Structures are given as structure tokens and as C-alpha cells.
Amino acid sequence: MSAPLLEVTDLRVTFAPRRAPFRRAAAPLHAVDGVSFALHAGETLGLVGESGCGKSTTARGILRLVEPSGGSVRLDGRELLGLRPKELRAARRDIQMVFQDPYSSLDPSMLVQESIGEPIDVHLRLPRAERTERIAQLLQRVGLPPDAMTRYPHEFSGGQRQRLTIARAIAADPKILVLDEAVSALDVSTQNQVIELLEELSAAIGLTYLFIAHDLSVVRHISDRVAVMYLGRSSSTARPRACSTPRPTPTPRRCCRRCRCPRRTCSAAGSGSCSQAIRRTRRRCRRGAGSTPAAATRWTSAARRSRGSPPRRGPARSPATCTPRARRSPGCRCEPSPARAGRRCPHEVGGVAGRRRGRARRGAGPGARTT
């Protein structure tokens, strides 16, 4: 296999928070922590992950829009992180970026021909006539009429603006195109049109894509390989078919609100067997057995039986469900209920209420009767 066109090794991006006066300095934020992947010529690599995992920061770090704090980025065998500003501008001709929001990525005060012609002026430096002709060709390639160059960005729809940003990105004939959520702000029909346009450009001029997105269906359709990011790190790389079945994300969480596990997480989270919740709180585990008190009580009793502990008596029920009549005290007016057979009535002679009435009848205690 040939050498990769873009090789990212152990890329790290760290943001140092601002220190407020008379306050303790906060810890630095590691937005990207050790991302590595390789991208070959003519290939489309999909980069997926949850919101906030560092996908966009990774893309900006590759182009040095955000300065990386470590790692290596090699473009066609050339290291990008050690380049000077003038050398970096020349190297950016081979790698361009399409941003997420087509409304803010275009200058509203500039005509379309000025926005698309800016990379032509920086990298190609064509004469005026050739420059105008190339802009018209780029607009036709992305499916827009040539007379669109004399209009402003606010005169276009969202899908048309994204086509304009793609035309601006391919104006300098790059080798790699970094697409940062390029279709997430568009409706479904416009997404299909933009994806078809990207596939046509890849087949026509041999573009290589780094496609960042949330929608797995779009990623499976356009990508040759998929890299998954989690908490600023690249966890795995696989074929698009491997992303068809969702897998549980190892998100740290407590198994219940009152669980005090040492690591703030429990290996039995969600399985209904948290020993910490039983031993320390002796209350219901809402995560494991549901949110109803009855379900939580049943789960706690079952867990205590599995641990060899005697079952705990449930909470006191209403007196209207106690049975049998022979075990009730004379003052109890509870109706018999077959569902409560074999359970003690709180009003029977041996219960708490019965003992209190016995002491009251004998004249012991504040509740003694007076005749």
C-alpha cells in the first residue's frame, strides 16, 4: 500500500483557561488527547463521535487554525506543525476546509466572485480574465449559474450557500477537503444533493475527504472507513458496515442517586445488583428497578435474599388491607383481604398500636384512660 496522503499521530490540543484575579488557577482543558489516523489518496474517512468529543477541534488542529500542543501532522510526507506562517500558507493550498454553518462562513459584505476569488488570488494569481472564467467554471461545477458571482450571500438559500463554500474550497485545486459537519444544518433533500455533489467531485478531480458528521447513515453512505472519537481520543477505526449496529457507550454514571461507590461509578449500574446501595443507603435503587417505590422495595428484598441477608419488612400498609380477623385487636376495624393473608396488622394486640393501647388501659403512659 502507498504512503498515506495525510498522517496524524498523537495529536493533542490543550486550552489553558484564563486565570481570574484572587482565584485559584483552573486545570487545563484537554480537548484533543492523542488522536491518530491515516488518510490515503482518493479515500473518504468518516469521523464520528458525540457532541463535545473534539471532532471539530481535531479538524482545526490539523489545519493549524488552532495551534496543537503536541503530536505530528504530515501532509504528503511534510510536517505541518513546524512550518512558519509563510510556509504554512503555501501548504494550505493542498488542504482546505468546509465549515459547518454556511451562513457565517461567507462574508455578507463581499460578492460571491470576491469570496471564491480570494484563494485564487492567494495561491494561483491568475489574470483578471482567467480569474473570472475560473470562477464561472467553479460555479457550474457545483450546480450554480455563472451569473451568481454578482450576487451577495444573503440572496441564496442554505444549500446554495454550502455549494458556494465548496466552490471556494476547491478553487485552489486542493488534494484534501475537510468537511466539518457540512450537511448537518441542511434539510434531507438538500443533504442528498450536497452528498451527490461531493461524490461527483471525488470521481472527477480525485478529492480526498475527511468527513465529520453525527448522522451515521450519511457516514455509512459516503465513507470508506469510519473513525470513532470519544472524550478527545480516537477509540477505533472500522468499515462503515461495523457502524450499522449501535453499541453501548461506556459513559460513567452512578447506578442510583444515593450510591456512594468509591469511583463514582458502579460495575453493576443498571443491572439491579449494586451492593453499595444496599449496604450504605438501604433504600431503593431507582436506576436498577424503576422509579416506583413498590418496584424499588421488591428489588431491595430480592437483592438481600441473593446476598444471604434476611428479607426486610416492607413499609407499613394501610389498615384497610390487613387480615385475618382472628389476629386483630378488638378495636381494629380493618376489612379482611385475601391478598394480605399471613401479614400482621398494625392494630393487632402484638403490634405497636396494640402495645400502646395495652399500656393506656393499664394506666401507664400519657395515653391512660380516665373514667
Q: Give per-residue pLDDT as tens, 62-98.
A: 999 999 999 999 999 999 998 999 999 999 999 999 9
pTM recorded for the entire structure:
0.64
82 plus 171 within the same structural domain = yes
Q: Is the residue at 196 inside a domain? A: yes
- CATH code of residue 95: 3.40.50.300
DSSP lists the bridge partners of residue 243 as: none
Q: Is the residue at 371 inside a domain? A: no
Single residue among 198, 218, 243 that ends a domain in this structure: 243
DSSP string of 35-79? EEEEE-TT-EEEEEE-TTSSHHHHHHHHTTSS--SEEEEEETTEE
Q: Is the pLDDT of residue 303 over 90?
A: no
What are the distances in angstroms from CA 127 to CA 113, 119, 132?
14, 14, 9
In the Cβ-directed half-sphere of 370, how many Cα atoms lie within 13 Å?
A: 3
- Strand runs labelled E in the chain: 6-15, 29-39, 44-49, 70-75, 78-79, 95-98, 176-180, 208-212, 225-230, 233-238
Residue of 304, 263, 252 whose CA lies nearest to 281: 304
352 plus 203 within the same structural domain = no
260 plus 134 within the same structural domain = no
119 vs 304, higher pLDDT: 119
331 plus 257 within the same structural domain = no
Single residue among 243, 263, 297 that ends a domain in this structure: 243
Integer Cα distance of 361 and 23 in angstroms: 68
Q: Is the pLDDT of residue 168 over 70?
A: yes
Integer Cα distance of 354 and 369 in angstroms: 15
Q: Is the residue at 366 inside a domain? A: no
Single residue among 243, 273, 293 that ends a domain in this structure: 243
What are the distances in angstroms from CA 307 to CA 103, 257, 301?
61, 22, 10
227 plus 170 within the same structural domain = yes
Read off the pLDDT of each residue in 350-360 and give the average, rounded to a whole number.
Answer: 55
Q: Is the residue at 58 inside a domain? A: yes
195 plus 298 within the same structural domain = no
Containing domain of residue 150, as a range? 6-243
59 plus 119 within the same structural domain = yes
141 plus 48 within the same structural domain = yes
The C-alpha cell that represents 170 in the structure block: 476547491
Q: Is the pLDDT of residue 259 over 60?
A: no
**Phi, psi dihedral angles at 133 (to 5 degrees):** -65, -40
327 plus 307 within the same structural domain = no
Please provide the average confidence, as pLDDT, over all residues in the chain: 76
186 vs 330, higher pLDDT: 186
Computed over its alpha carbons, how large is the radius of gyration of the chain?
Answer: 34
Task: Dihedral sign for Cα 182, 183, 186, 190, please.
Answer: positive
Digit-coded pLDDT (tens) for 7-36: 999 999 999 887 777 777 778 889 999 999
Residue 29's pLDDT is what? Answer: 87
Q: Is the residue at 369 inside a domain? A: no
Digit-coded pLDDT (tens) for 117-160: 999 999 999 999 999 999 999 999 999 999 999 999 999 998 99
Q: Is the residue at 303 inside a domain? A: yes
**How many structural domains compose the chain?**
3
Q: Is the residue at 162 inside a domain? A: yes
Residue 97's pLDDT is what? Answer: 94
Question: By three-state DSSP, how is residue 31 classified?
Answer: strand
Residue 344's pLDDT is what? Answer: 56
190 plus 167 within the same structural domain = yes
Q: Is the residue at 1 inside a domain? A: no
14 plus 46 within the same structural domain = yes
87 plus 105 within the same structural domain = yes
Residue 199 CB neighbours (<10 A): 15
